[in-house]
């Protein structure tokens, strides 16, 4: 495609009135010394403070950009997906509006992508964040490594850059209540991890609230892991065998010693075995529901990276 932009940068935002002017001036400055062509795609994720008006009225805007306004707040992942759907660059990335990740990061990601990588992940190099965020980030990363994707970096992913090929596959499989990064990680294209720095917010308050963090954790498990379902089955099997063991024990005591009070030992046997059978049944039902959910997502069973015609001489 002629005159195709090299990199499209998607910037989602929600009520960033305090810092949006600084962001625009930062983009202007970066564009004046750019080493490759890029365009900006702003995505308004339901702002109510007039952030979009500041972008519309900012003059002059020397860099190519467009503004996409969502009808309401759908969440940052949905906003990024909307930006990707309307991006046209050979590579596309996303940056936060609060400038915690600098625009110099785009150059680092692009250099790595130019080496032939379809996906480049930006891994936090300096963890200059609050204690709560650090604890959640490490906990989330460790859970993802153990139960979802073993290659998930322990320090956490801050951003990424994908090629046009990956973006097309991603746009064909737009998922709700899911994790964009985990979806990309599961694709398996040639990728590379690079270290990036994360700074403090320039202004305003973070919209990455505790409730959103918890939702991301739940979405990541429900959308990409069957571990919670298997846990139900394992608990059921555990209680079932404990119940069998306890039943054998009280039968033995009754026959040999006859020293147990009637009532509660038998009741405990019934409860343990009953809870075990119930949880095993729930686990089996949940396995079928998981497979139904997985089929309804219509994720590709496989993704072809490239096809090479080999000719014999």
Q: Following DSSP, what letter does each residue of 82-97 receive, concatenated?
A: HHHHT--SSEEEE--T
Question: What is the distance between the alpha carbons of residues 82 and 97, in angstroms, rounded to a whole number?
Answer: 16
Quote the pLDDT of residue 190. 92
- The helix/strand count (H/E) of the chain reads as 10, 7
Cα–Cα distances (Å) from 153 to 14, 17, 94, 141, in that order, read 27, 33, 18, 7
pTM: 0.77
Bridge partner residues of 121 (DSSP): 160, 193
DSSP 261: P
Which residues, in sequence order, are bridge partners of residue 68? Answer: 43
What mean pLDDT comes out for the span 109-136? 82
Taking only the tens place, the pLDDT of each residue in 61-105 is: 788 999 999 888 888 888 999 999 999 899 999 999 998 898 999
Which tens digits make up the pLDDT trace of 161-204? Answer: 999 999 999 998 888 778 889 999 988 899 999 998 887 777 76
CA 29 – CA 11 distance, rounded (Å): 17
Q: Are 180 and 79 in contact (CB under 8 A)?
A: no
């Amino acid at each position: 495609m002629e005159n195709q932009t090299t990199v499209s940068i998607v910037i989602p935002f929600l009520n960033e009135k305090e810092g949006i002017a600084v962001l625009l001036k930062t983009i202007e400055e970066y564009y004046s010394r750019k080493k490759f062509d890029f365009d900006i795609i702003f995505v308004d994720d339901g702002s109510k403070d007039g952030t979009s008006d500041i972008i519309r009225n900012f003059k002059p805007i020397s860099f190519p950009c467009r503004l996409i306004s969502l009808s309401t707040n759908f969440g940052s992942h949905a906003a990024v997906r909307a930006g990707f759907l309307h991006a046209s660059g050979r590579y596309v990335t996303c940056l936060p509006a609060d400038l915690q990740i600098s625009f110099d990061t785009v150059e680092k990601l692009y250099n790595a992508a130019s080496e032939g990588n379809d996906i480049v992940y930006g891994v936090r190099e300096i963890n200059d964040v609050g204690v709560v965020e650090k604890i959640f980030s490490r906990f989330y990363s460790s859970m993802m490594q153990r139960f979802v994707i073993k290659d998930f970096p322990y320090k956490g992913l801050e951003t990424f850059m994908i090629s046009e090929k990956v973006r097309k596959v991603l746009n064909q499989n737009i998922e709700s209540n899911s994790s964009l990064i985990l979806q990309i990680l599961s694709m398996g294209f040639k990728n590379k991890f690079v270290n990036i720095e994360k700074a403090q917010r320039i202004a305003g308050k973070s919209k990455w609230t505790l409730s959103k963090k918890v939702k991301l954790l739940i979405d990541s498990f429900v959308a990409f892991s069957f571990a919670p379902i298997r846990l139900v089955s394992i608990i059921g099997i555990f209680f079932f065998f404990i119940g069998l063991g306890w039943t054998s024990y009280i039968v033995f005591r009754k026959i040999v010693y006859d020293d147990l009070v009637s009532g509660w030992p038998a009741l405990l046997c019934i409860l343990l075995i009953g809870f075990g059978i119930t949880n095993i049944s729930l686990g089996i039902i949940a396995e079928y529901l998981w497979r139904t959910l997985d089929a309804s997502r219509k994720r590709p069973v496989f993704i072809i990276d490239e096809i090479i015609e080999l000719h014999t001489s």
